[in-house]
Structures are given as C-alpha cells and as structure tokens.
Amino acid sequence: MKKQIRLKSAALCSAVVLSPLLFNAASLGGLKDIAEPYLGTYECEQIFVGDEEKTDKFDYVRLELKPKGEMKLFFKEKGGLKSEAEARYTYDTEKNVLTIYANVAGAEKKKQFPVKKGTIDVSVRYGGKMLMMKFVQK
C-alpha cells in the first residue's frame, strides 16, 4: 500500500516537474486559436468592381472579426480618406460560413460568405456591378 502511494506521488511530482519541458504553452497558442480559429484580422488582397481591379486605389482594407459577433471593417483610400464600419456576424464552424448582418439605409441586411483555409471571398452587388473582395487571415 505504501509503495503504491509513493509510486503515485512520484508519478505526480514527475508530471508536474516535467510538464513545462514537455509542453511549451506558447507554442500551443491560446484557447481562442483552438475554439474560435476564425477570429482575428483579415487583409484584403484583391478588389474588383465588375471587371475593373480597384486594389491599388486603397492603402489597406481590413476586416476584423472579434469575439461575441462584433466585426469591424477598416479602410484607407490612397490620398488619405480613412474610414471604418461596424457590423455583427455569426460563424458556422461546421459549414465554414460567415454570415454578416449590416444596417443598410436603416434596414438590416444579411449576407453569407464561404470561408476556406483562412480566406473569405466577398461577393455583393454594388451600384449595378459585382463587388468582389478576397480577404486573407493574418
């Protein structure tokens, strides 16, 4: 009986002492990275309005997905105009679909976008043409 207690105590002590060496917590990432890997900042790499590429018209366009369904869009046009907009979102982890809810002219609009390997392809009708944007998670 005493041998079993000593053996269990030794095993527990060894586990406590060796665990920092065996598992580097920094390399595992945070719980957020495991539970909600879609959270974070996405940089827009391509912007098209119809057939016309508009990527070079902006210094940056960023989409930030925050916890609790909060989302922000930041952009800066070349020449100085900076702006940001807020919306809310839901994320279906089984289907990898981002659903954005935004107020447009006082009415809430809902649009779904597929997410594949950290890339969000946004496609919406804008001024009679298709606006297509490709966001990549950073």
pLDDT tens-digit profile of 65-105? 999 999 999 999 998 889 999 999 999 999 999 999 988 88
Check whether residue 57 and residue 109 sit in a common domain: yes
Rounded to 5 degrees, what are φ and ψ at 66?
-105, 165
pLDDT reported for residue 34: 56
Hey, what are 11's tokens? 């095993």
Nearest to 88 by CA among 107, 68, 59, 105: 68
pTM of the model: 0.72
Check whether residue 70 and residue 118 sit in a common domain: yes
Res. 10 pLDDT band, cuts 50 70 90 = very low
Hey, what are 43's tokens? 């940089």
26 Cβ partners below 8 Å, 6+ apart?
none
Check whether residue 8 and residue 76 sit in a common domain: no
Mean pLDDT of the chain: 82
Is residue 138 pLDDT above 50, yes or no?
Answer: yes
Any idea which residue has 């105009």 for tokens?
81
User: How many separate domains does the chain show?
Assistant: 2
User: Where do the DSSP E strands lie in 93-128?
Assistant: 97-104, 107-116, 119-126
pLDDT reported for residue 106: 86
Check whether residue 106 and residue 44 sit in a common domain: yes
Give the range of the structural domain holding residue 114, as residue numbers without chain letter. Answer: 33-137
Nearest to 89 by CA among 104, 99, 77, 103: 99
Is residue 123 pLDDT above 50, yes or no?
Answer: yes
